[in-house]
Amino acid sequence: MRLYPIEVAFLSLTRYRSLSLPQKDIPSTWYSTDSPSSIHDFYSTADVVVNTLPATSATELYVNAEAFKSMKNSAIYVSIGRGQTTDQDALIEALQNALKPLTGEEKEGDLLISGSSLDVTVPEPLGKDSPLYTLPNVVLTPHMSGMSSQYFVRAMELFAQNLDRVVVKGEGGLNAVRGKGE
């Protein structure tokens, strides 16, 4: 990883207890969604939280006011999964609180984070009057952060693998969010 020379630690919050991933140093620490204290520890440890959650009934508003309160006041929140997974009103309040003059009374646990980068929002596109457009501590992108010169190559490779797994072998598809998947 290119970021290791500057001592970046990669953390993961997951619902899976055992993953069939190569045993490497990434992530350096695993946190489980099975425990509220583990979720809090994850948020309170991370300097940057990257949300890649899919939209399901279990993930709706998953990153909510309590999650933002658990984050460091200096945290940056990045959302590239689905907009429905973030409590946008709580996010806006946390971002607005970061812009208020410091009083010295601020403490960890306040609804306050330093910034956000959002590739997904609710609704998409945002309404003209959304405060997210005017907050200087927000970067908005038009829901295309996953695009690269290799996107279609990778998508076709995954499609071919899943076609073989599901149609030929009767197995679950890779990266499936709903239904039979792995």
Q: Which residues, other chains included, contact 79 with Cβ-Cβ below 8 Å and sequence gap of 6+?
A: 50, 51, 63, 85, 86, 116, 117, 118, 119, 120
Whether 108 is catalytic = no
When divided into structural domains, the chain yields a total of: 2
For 134, the 3-state DSSP assignment is coil
Q: Is residue 80 domain-shared with residue 161, that is, in the same domain?
A: no
CATH number of the domain that residue 123 is part of: 3.40.50.720
Whether 82 is catalytic = yes
Options 106, 108, 124, 182, the catalytic residue: 124
Number of Cβ within 10 Å of residue 84's Cβ equals: 19
Q: Is residue 56 domain-shared with residue 120, that is, in the same domain?
A: yes
Q: Is residue 177 domain-shared with residue 87, that is, in the same domain?
A: no
Q: Which residues, other chains included, contact 133 with Cβ-Cβ below 8 Å and sequence gap of 6+?
A: 126, 140
Whether 124 is catalytic = yes
Q: What's the confidence (pLDDT) of residue 136?
A: 97
Q: What's the confidence (pLDDT) of residue 23?
A: 56
Q: Is residue 46 domain-shared with residue 98, that is, in the same domain?
A: yes
pTM: 0.79
Q: Is residue 95 domain-shared with residue 177, that is, in the same domain?
A: no
- Bigger pLDDT: 141 vs 33: 141
Give, as one character, the DSSP assignment of residue 173.
Answer: B
What's the token pair of residue 153? 């190559």
Q: Is residue 174 domain-shared with residue 139, that is, in the same domain?
A: no
pLDDT tens sequence across 30-53: 788 888 888 999 999 999 999 999
pLDDT tens sequence across 80-135: 999 999 999 999 999 999 999 988 888 888 999 999 999 999 999 999 999 999 99
Q: Is residue 65 domain-shared with residue 91, that is, in the same domain?
A: yes
- 45: phi then psi, degrees, rounded to nearest 5: -90, -35
Options 60, 66, 143, 171, the catalytic residue: 143
Q: Is residue 21 domain-shared with residue 95, that is, in the same domain?
A: yes
Q: Is residue 80 domain-shared with residue 169, that is, in the same domain?
A: no
Domain that holds residue 106: 4-146
